[in-house]
Structure formats: C-alpha cells, structure tokens
Chain A
C-alpha cells in the first residue's frame, strides 16, 4: 500500500511537468489552429484574473495577505526537489570548505530569498527591482566572500563555485516567482515571437547571409544538435543552466561554421547562422527565457566569457528576427510579402525539411512522452501483476493458515442432529439396559396433563439437562446454521417469542419451561415427551424423577448462573423438534 502511495505522488509530479509542457505546446499551436486561439485567450484571461485577485489580496493585507504568502510558498515548494539535488550535487564543495562556509552561504541564501519573496509580494515592486536586488546581492556576496575571515582559506576557484552555487540555489528556488511573472508581458512577447518565427519559416540560410552548405550529413547533424541544445533552454531552471544551453548551441554553430567556411568563423558568419538556427528551432518561451537570464543571471557572467558573448548574440538574433523586414533580407518588398502570405513556398528540400524541425521536435517530444507513458504503463502492469501475485500469495497463505488453525483446533462438525423420534423403533434403543429402554405409551391424553406446570410430569423431563450439556460444551454450528435458520420464519408464535425474551430478561422460569416448547411441538402435532414421565418411573434413583420442589431449585439456580446461556441450548432443541 505504501509503495502505491509513493508511486502515485511521483506520477503526480510528472503530470505537473507534463502539463506545463502541454501548455507550451498548446501555445505553439495557437497561431495555426484557430480553436486553440480561444484556449489561449482563456488562459491569458485566467492569468489576468489571478493577477487581479492576487493584487486585491495584497491591497487588503491582513489575513488575506497571509493567504497570498501561503500560495507563494506552495509555488516555491514545487522547486524543492530541484533545489535539494543542487545541494547534493555540491556536497563535495562544502565538505572541502567546512561547516562555517556552508552555514554562512546558506544563511545568506535564506535571508536573500526571504527578503526577495517578501518584496515580490508587494505589487509596487517591478521585476526590474527584483533583478536589481538580485544583482546587488551577488555583488555583496562576492565582496563578503572576498573579505570575510571564514572564507580566507577558500581557493579562488572554490569562491567562484560558491557564488555559482548561491545563484543556482536561490534562483532555482524562486523560479516560479521569477520566471515569466504575471506582472510582465513576457508571456505575450513569447507568443508574438513564436508566431512571427512561424510566419518566417520560409526564410532560408541564403536569405540571412548564412553560409551553411547543406551537403554533408555531418553539417546536418550539427544543425540538429544546435537546435536541440537551444530548445533545451526552456527546461533548464537555473540561469546559468539556461546559459549553458545557449553556449552549447553556439559552440555547435561555430564548429558548423568552421566546417562550412573552412577556417575559424568570424562574427560575420556566426550571427547569421545563429539567426538561422533560432528561426528553425522556434524555441518555446524564448523571450521569457532571455529576460529571465538577463535579469537573474549574475551580470558579470553576462558581460564576459563565452556565455556572455553567445547570449548577447542570441539577443541580437532575436532582435533581428523581431525587426526583420524585406530590406534586412535584401529582398524586394513584394516578394517578402508574398512569402509572408504563403504565396511562394521555398523550393529547397533540406530547408523545407528544416521548417518541419519545430514539428519534428514536437513529435520527438511527444514520442519521448509516449515512451515515458509506455514505461509508466509497463510499470503499472508490472505493479498490477505484483499486486495480483501478492493477492494470490496472501490468499494461499490465508488458506494455509486456516488449514493450520483447523489442524491445531479441529472443528469437529457434528452431523446434523437427527431428531430423535422417540416413537420410532430404534434398534439401538432396544439394546438399552432395562431402565433406559423406552416403553411405548399412548400419546394424546398425556399431553393434556402437561398443560399444568404443577403436574409432576414436566419436572421429570431429563431433556433440559441433556440440552445443557450438548450445547454448552461443544458449539454445534451446523445445528445453528441449518436447523435454526430454517425455523426462524416460523418463530412468530407468541410462545416461542416470549420464551426468547423471558430467557434474556426476566429469566422467567415458567416462560422458558420446556412445557412451553412442548406446546409448540404439540402444535405441529408431534409429541416427544409423552412417554417420558412413564419411563421416568423406571429410572434408577439419581435420574428418577422426584416430584419435589428440589428440581425446580436446580433449574432456577441454573438460570442464575450467567456463564451458562441456557437459552442457546433451547434453540437447537426446539428447532430439532420443529423439524419433526
């Protein structure tokens, strides 16, 4: 059961990311599929609504404001797993530099996150303010690491890693808050550029002055690899990880251009190729990603190194695409508009194949997802099988244990108690020694005599005694289930009912008394006790009925002993008789 619970949770989180992916994909479709436009509109409206609600909450402050922080917290909680893995990835770094460094860094992160989240709660704070805060924090931390004595032993390389770690940890933690926040128009810009790139799917490498020659598969593979890396940017969370995707994409482009140009590529070759790749990749949430990196990636990293250079070029490529005109493609105005309206379709096969890159990627993503589902459904099947096996095993074990129990505590099923027809000629009865051998007596007249409890005959009956032993010392279930139930329907007779209540409540002896049962038996028209009194006279002394009150004493005493539920004893007997 526990295993099941865990699995469910895992599936839920997976669904989460899938849902996000789905949304992205839905966005992708909006431009081409009209029915999705509505969906998109709805989504945006919803977002605006939540924005309003959120700001309303904040303006009112007080308990509602507290609610808002709760929602922020739940937003952030979704990143905890990622953050934890960042932490465990860097365990070595902290182990080498000691607990003091560890504590100080995490203290700084905690304070910074707390402050920034608080600040983000304020509707007057813009995303640029948050960005400014973050950049200031990076600088302050840099200074702290350079100056504080705790960090004196830390090597410059580790200092750099600590800064990286802090950035990665803190920003990933607040990802939901800082990426494409509802206070910005980032999402709208994403959709716009996505739509525009889709409109520009006819743009060829030649159009943008890109010297990609498409002949070799090696070059094709590099183009695909670059596109894949660029598309990976959306799924990375930490700013430097997103930047890493850009770097890998651009390195691929540079090696590609080196192949095409036949020497080290210059910026003149690189930028057009990057533009080409961006056009063919049409990455999801491009603007959001760029803005996020610009705002929250350590600015010093964006100004130097390959990351900074490549990222700047990516910004240039995006800006070029946004402002692309016929002139920037060196193309006559009317040809451009014809392309834009889809009146001319590019002829180049490889390029048109690349147009499908977006679709291909989508398909690949979906395939990936399907294989994921496949794995999960296989796992589900496996688990189901496991569960089934467990159930079977459980069942078998249960049976086995029941058998064991049966062996240890054998349940002796007594045969259905054959109602003794005392009138019948039983051969065994004939073998009985003389005092016990039954004697045939006339039936009816005696019955009437029994009507009176005062009559000595009823006191003679050894039957109650017999029943007591029979019922109390071995629980004869078959009797109850078989005989008793079948008679339940005809228990409506007042005499029988009164007997039941009497035995439970007042223990009225008279009410219980076998004579009452007798009456019922009589109703059925069978008499069993008729011959008893007469046989009693020939019984040996202890069994011999004594017409005294002493017997009554016994029976009243017996009823006062609670541990002997005499009434249970009466049932099978009664029912047995009824059977007759």
Chain B
C-alpha cells in the first residue's frame, strides 16, 4: 500500500523507487506547510512486540485489513486497542479495508467494519492498492485530521501554558502506516 502511494502519487521525479519503507512528503494543505513522514513497519508477527518503538511519537496511524480475511480485521481491532492504550485518544486513526478489487471474496461485511470504526473514533476507507482506489484520499484525510488535532492541541497548550516535554510532537507531524497483517498476504493473492 505504501508502495502504491509512493510510486503512483509522490514519485513525480520518476526516480526509480529503491524502497517502500518510509516516505517523506511535503504537503501544502490549507496554506500550511506540512511535513508528512510515512513509516512502514515490518508486518511479521514476530516483530509485533516492536510496535511501540515505531509508533512512540506518532500522531496518526493507518490500520489496514484484508476484506477477504476476517482474521486480519480482528488484528486491526487489537491494534486499535493497543494504540489507544499506549498513545491515548490524541492519535488519529484510519481504518482501511483493502483489496476491494476482490469484493466477491469479501469476508468482512462493510457495515460491521464501518460501525466499528465509528465506535472507536476512526474513519473507515475502502481501498485497493492493486487498482489504486481510495489510497490518496486515505492519506490526505488523515493528514488533515492530524493537522487539525495538532493545532487544537497547540492552542490548548498555549492556553494552559504548560511546558511539557510533549512539545516535541508539534514540530513535525509524523504518520505511521500501521498495516495490520492480512493473513493471506504471505501467499500473495
């Protein structure tokens, strides 16, 4: 998914992509300069415990599940719980039901997913990396939301005049792509 985003949308210089692990993108949303850093994490189950190191200072996360894989949706739920627990409600969450091109094999009902997303304060997207559907919107919306959240926090902070170390967060907006591992991914759908 990051690869799709990197290759199709942001690689305007047509440089051959060497990697799809992270991406820095300068965006201009509403006249504000934004430095978007997208970090992919290793999806293997054995690296799950390393999650906190990745998302430590992040402002948002995209949780991806495979619509044909019920199990992957379950993992998204676990991620939401973990992130909320670790980062508080400050974090902006997006949930992406990926592989909509395989809608015939869908195993996660649209309503279930959207309802869940609403319940946890996340926005749900339908995407397809294969067909490049909904991906740009997904990133753009999340960026906007993170920016609003950051500005609100800054205002709040200025009002409270508290100088905590969390000030660091406002320097850059960091977004991490946290794809919940779709179980079938290893076989290569």
Flag if B172 contacts A300 (CB, 8 Å). Answer: yes
Residues 31-57 of chain B, each 1 if its beta carbon lies under 8 Å from chain A, else 0: 000010101111110110110011001
Nearest-CB distance from B39 to chain A (Å)? 5
Check if B28 is an interface residue, CB within 8 A of chain A: no
Identify which of residues 244-276 in chain A touch chain B, using a CB-to-CB cut-off of 8 Å. Answer: 254-255, 257-258, 264-268, 270-272
- Please report the total number of A residues contacting B with Cβ < 8 Å: 35
Closest B residue to A131 by CB, please name it: B165
Q: Which residues of B lie under 8 Å from residue A320 when comparing CB positions?
A: 46-47, 49-50
Choose among A135, A267, A308, A312 the residue with the greatest number of B CB atoms under 10 Å from its CB.
A267
Q: Could you tell me the distance between the alpha carbons of A264 and B165 in the complex, rounded to whole angstroms?
A: 37
**With A258-B19, A272-B42, A320-B47 known to touch, is A304 a contact of B172 (CB < 8 Å)?**
yes
**With A266-B3, A268-B43 known to touch, is A309 a contact of B57 (CB < 8 Å)?**
no
Flag if B53 contacts A254 (CB, 8 Å). Answer: no
Choose among A258, A270, A315 the residue with the greatest number of B CB atoms under 10 Å from its CB.
A270
Check if B80 is an interface residue, CB within 8 A of chain A: no
Nearest-CB distance from A239 to chain B (Å)? 15
**With A309-B37, A312-B54, A316-B50 known to touch, is A264 a contact of B18 (CB < 8 Å)?**
yes
Q: Could you tell me the distance between the alpha carbons of A135 and B167 in the complex, rounded to whole angstroms?
A: 10
Check if A492 is an interface residue, CB within 8 A of chain B: no
Residues 8-38 of chain B, each 1 if its beta carbon lies under 8 Å from chain A, else 0: 0000000001111110100000000001010
Q: Which residues of B lie under 8 Å from residue A313 when comparing CB positions?
A: 21
Q: Could you tell me the distance between the alpha carbons of A265 and B21 in the complex, rounded to whole angstroms?
A: 7
Closest B residue to A209 by CB, please name it: B44
Contact of B168 among A135, A268, A305 (CB under 8 A): A135
Nearest-CB distance from B90 to chain A (Å)? 15
Nearest-CB distance from A266 to chain B (Å)? 5
Residues 85-124 of chain B, each 1 if its beta carbon lies under 8 Å from chain A, else 0: 0000000000000000000000000000000000000000
Closest A residue to B47 by CB, please name it: A271
| A-B residue pairs, 3 tightest by C-beta | A271-B42, A267-B40, A309-B22
Query: What would 15 more interface pairs be, CB under 8 Å, given A265-B20, A327-B46, A328-B46?
Result: A209-B44, A255-B18, A265-B19, A270-B19, A271-B47, A299-B171, A300-B172, A303-B168, A304-B172, A305-B24, A306-B24, A308-B37, A309-B21, A316-B50, A320-B47
Using CB atoms and an 8 Å cutoff, list the residues of chain A in contact with chain B. 132, 135, 139, 209, 254-255, 257-258, 264-268, 270-272, 299-300, 303-306, 308-309, 312-313, 315-316, 319-320, 323, 327-330
